[in-house]
């Protein structure tokens, strides 16, 4: 049950408003002045504060600042009887979730409360990078959105506001900034959370297939359409569909999506029947959509529809203080996934992280920490290990670090012509030319990769499989195929 603290010098308001909120299922605490409110927050932080501006003693704005200093991320809604924009601007500028004019309508304040509570929940994040803090029983779903910077607070607020509506939301941001995670947050905090969340990656699916993937087809719609197929949009019925990389959607599909947005109905390919669909659409892109419109790659009418509600993710560099929070988050999550102890970071290693420009944003940070964790030898990750982890990234182009590179192979391959791997490949090509050079090289690399993973994990096949991104049975089959000896260490 969410707990709300009401701070107002008007006893009657405290009482009547408190009653209304209690009947809505909230737990209510009350304070009669700013000072008492601050004390209440310090002794036991509520989930939300609703506070008047003008009170004897410190003002609501001052009290809010003290509360948020004591409890960052606490959502505060300011009430004011004076419609001055000064207060409104001041309040939101200083961190109020929102402000509302007195007198207010109950449905309005309830909607605002819902949004503020959602934003507050999204804010919770881990704080330190000491290993002992990693087991904090907090919200540990791998999907937690981490961030305390002002820039991310704004994103959380926007999510809080947009989630409960059914509006189409466009999520913009560079590669690796967390667009998919935000889409999932919008879904999880919306009214369709218990219904499907269907992701369509418009770049990953070839243009020729995207249309039938999305809209489905009737038997005989085209050669090869042997039976009817229901598309992803229909599969998402009553749920949410996430159109990822929408900036890359082919023109014919754009027209159909536009029609879906306008008329809320679709037709399967080769079908005559119009099918009403009830889906919420979320979309993301890292493209310059304005340029795409100018160049005729994106329909202008679709663009205007898409951009009505936009959430823009800041670059990781613009999220002051978030790198260390994210590092703590990733270390504890990765340690769990790889079944390793979380060694923590030394302050110097953390300094290196904060100084790095992160062209690949949060995804790059996650990949660097994964490498650092693998290089670490049970002691806190030190600058040398961190340098190795950061240094092994070669290509700073967005998306280049999408997948964690296998150590060794690519590195050696990129290191230059005289790297051992290159030399080996050249040999194989000479010796086996016209024979099976390709298979031979791949087998050798596969064998070494698996051997390395087994060595790093002390022979633990489950961990090695996770590290390699293989299933355990596949790994075991390969161990047999390559005749690898596994010396299992006692864990």
Ligand X SMILES: Nc1ncnc2c1ncn2[C@@H]1O[C@H](COP(=O)(O)OP(=O)(O)OP(=O)(O)O)[C@@H](O)[C@H]1O
What does the binding site for Mg ion look like in residue numbers (CB under 5 A)? 179-180
Q: Which stretch binds ligand X (CB under 6 A): 61-69, 82-90, 360-368, 443-451?
A: 360-368
What beta strand segments (E) does 140-231 contain?
Answer: 169-172, 197-201, 216-217, 229-230
175 scored as a contact of ligand X (CB under 6 A): yes
Size of the site for ligand X (CB under 6 A): 18
Backbone angles phi, psi at 269, to 5 degrees: -60, 135
Q: Which stretch binds ligand X (CB under 6 A): 66-74, 78-86, 169-177, 338-346?
A: 169-177
**Inter-residue contact 333 to 138 (CB < 8 Å):** no
**177 contacts which partner out of ligand X, Mg ion, none, CB within 5 to 8 A by kind?**
ligand X
Output 4 or 369, the one with its CB closest to ligand X. Answer: 369
User: Binder to ligand X among 68, 161, 179, 256 (CB under 6 A)?
Assistant: 179
Output 68 or 184, the one with its CB closest to Mg ion. Answer: 184
Output 59 or 175, the one with its CB closest to ligand X. Answer: 175
User: Binder to ligand X among 34, 75, 314, 366 (CB under 6 A)?
Assistant: 366
Calpha distance 215→217 (Å, rounded)? 7
Tokens 């293989």 belong to residue: 470
The nearest distance, CB 310 to ligand X, in angstroms, is: 14
Q: Which stretch binds ligand X (CB under 6 A): 14-22, 104-112, 173-181, 341-349?
A: 173-181
337 scored as a contact of ligand X (CB under 6 A): no
Angle subtended by helix axes 106-123 and 150-162, to nearest 10: 130
User: Binder to ligand X among 14, 148, 161, 329 (CB under 6 A)?
Assistant: 329
Alpha carbon distances (Å) from 310 to 279, 284, 316, 344: 18, 9, 18, 37
The nearest distance, CB 187 to Mg ion, in angstroms, is: 14
Give DSSP secondary structure letters for 354-373: HHS--TTHHHHHHHHHHHHH
- List the x/- string, 24-53, binding to ligand X by CB under 6 A: ------------------------------
The answer, yes or no, to whether the previous bond of 244 is cis (omega within 30 of 0) is: no
The nearest distance, CB 171 to Mg ion, in angstroms, is: 9
Calpha distance 465→470 (Å, rounded)? 5
The nearest distance, CB 26 to Mg ion, in angstroms, is: 36
146 scored as a contact of ligand X (CB under 6 A): yes
**Inter-residue contact 57 to 34 (CB < 8 Å):** yes
Q: Which stretch binds ligand X (CB under 6 A): 158-166, 258-266, 274-282, 362-370?
A: 362-370
Q: Which stretch binds ligand X (CB under 6 A): 103-111, 156-164, 171-179, 368-376?
A: 171-179
Q: What is the DSSP letter of 244?
A: E
- List the x/- string, 114-143, binding to ligand X by CB under 6 A: ------------------------------
Q: Would you state the structure tokens that stand for residue 88, as one six-digit string?
A: 């409104």
User: Binder to ligand X among 178, 216, 247, 314 (CB under 6 A)?
Assistant: 178
- Residue 59: how many CB atoms within 10 A of its CB? 18
Calpha distance 337→134 (Å, rounded)? 13
- Residue 418: how many CB atoms within 10 A of its CB? 8
Output 40 or 281, the one with its CB closest to ligand X. Answer: 281
Q: What is the 3-state secondary structure (H, E, C) of 387-427?
A: HHHHHCCCCCCCCCCCCCCCCCHHHHHHHCCCCHHHHHHHH
Output 366 or 380, the one with its CB closest to ligand X. Answer: 366
Diameter of the chain measured on Cα atoms: 91
353 scored as a contact of ligand X (CB under 6 A): no
Contacts of 230 (CB under 8 A, 6+ apart): 216, 268
The interface with ligand X within residues 273-292 (CB under 6 A) comprises: 286
**175 contacts which partner out of ligand X, Mg ion, none, CB within 5 to 8 A by kind?**
ligand X
User: Binder to ligand X among 145, 163, 185, 428 (CB under 6 A)?
Assistant: 145
Q: Would you state the structure tokens that stand for residue 181, as one six-digit string?
A: 């995670």
**181 contacts which partner out of ligand X, Mg ion, none, CB within 5 to 8 A by kind?**
ligand X
Residues that bind ligand X (CB under 6 A): 145-147, 173, 175-181, 286, 326, 329, 362-363, 366, 399
């Amino acid at each position: 049950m969410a707990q709300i603290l009401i701070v107002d010098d008007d006893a009657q308001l405290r009482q009547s408003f408190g009653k209304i909120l209690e009947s809505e299922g909230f737990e209510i605490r009350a304070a009669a002045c700013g000072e008492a409110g601050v004390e209440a927050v310090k002794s036991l932080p509520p989930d939300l504060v609703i506070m008047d501006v003008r009170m004897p003693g410190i003002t609501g704005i001052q009290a809010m600042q003290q509360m948020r200093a004591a409890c960052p991320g606490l959502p505060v809604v300011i009430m004011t009887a004076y419609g001055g924009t000064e207060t409104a601007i001041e309040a939101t500028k200083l961190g109020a979730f929102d402000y509302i004019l007195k007198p207010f309508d109950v449905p309005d304040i309830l909607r605002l409360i819902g949004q503020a509570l959602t934003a507050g929940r999204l804010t919770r994040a881990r704080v330190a990078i000491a290993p002992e803090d990693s087991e904090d029983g907090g919200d540990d779903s791998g999907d937690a959105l981490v961030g305390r910077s002002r820039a991310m607070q704004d994103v959380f607020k926007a999510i809080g506001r947009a989630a409960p509506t059914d509006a189409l939301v466009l999520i913009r941001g560079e590669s690796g900034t967390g667009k998919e995670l935000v889409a999932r947050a919008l879904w999880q905090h919306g009214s369709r959370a218990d219904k499907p969340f269907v992701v369509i990656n418009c770049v990953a699916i070839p243009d020729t297939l995207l249309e039938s993937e999305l809209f489905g087809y009737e038997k005989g719609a085209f050669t090869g359409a042997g039976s009817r197929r229901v598309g992803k949009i229909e599969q998402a019925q009553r749920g949410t569909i996430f159109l990822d990389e929408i900036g890359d959607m082919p023109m014919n599909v754009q027209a159909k999506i536009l029609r879906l947005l306008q008329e809320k109905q679709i037709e399967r390919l080769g079908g005559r029947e119009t099918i009403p669909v009830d889906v919420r659409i979320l979309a993301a892109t890292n493209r310059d959509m304005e340029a795409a419109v100018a160049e005729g790659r994106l329909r202008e009418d679709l663009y205007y529809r898409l951009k009505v509600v936009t959430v823009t993710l800041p670059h990781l560099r613009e999220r002051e203080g978030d790198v260390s929070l994210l590092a703590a988050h990733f270390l504890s999550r990765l340690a769990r996934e790889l079944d390793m102890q979380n060694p923590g970071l030394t302050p110097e290693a953390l300094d290196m992280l904060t100084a790095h420009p992160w062209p690949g944003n949060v995804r790059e940070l996650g990949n660097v920490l994964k490498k650092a964790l693998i290089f670490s030898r049970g002691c806190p990750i030190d600058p040398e290990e961190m340098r190795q982890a950061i240094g092994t990234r070669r290509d700073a182009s967005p998306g280049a670090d999408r997948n964690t590179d296998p150590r060794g192979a690519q590195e050696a391959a990129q290191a230059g012509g005289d790297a051992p791997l290159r030399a080996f490949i050249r040999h194989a090509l000479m010796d086996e030319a016209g024979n099976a050079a390709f298979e031979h090289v791949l087998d050798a690399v596969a064998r070494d990769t698996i051997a390395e993973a087994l060595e790093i994990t002390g022979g633990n096949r489950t961990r090695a499989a996770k590290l390699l991104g293989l299933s355990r049975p596949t790994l075991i089959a390969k161990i047999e195929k390559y005749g690898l000896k596994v010396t299992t260490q006692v864990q």
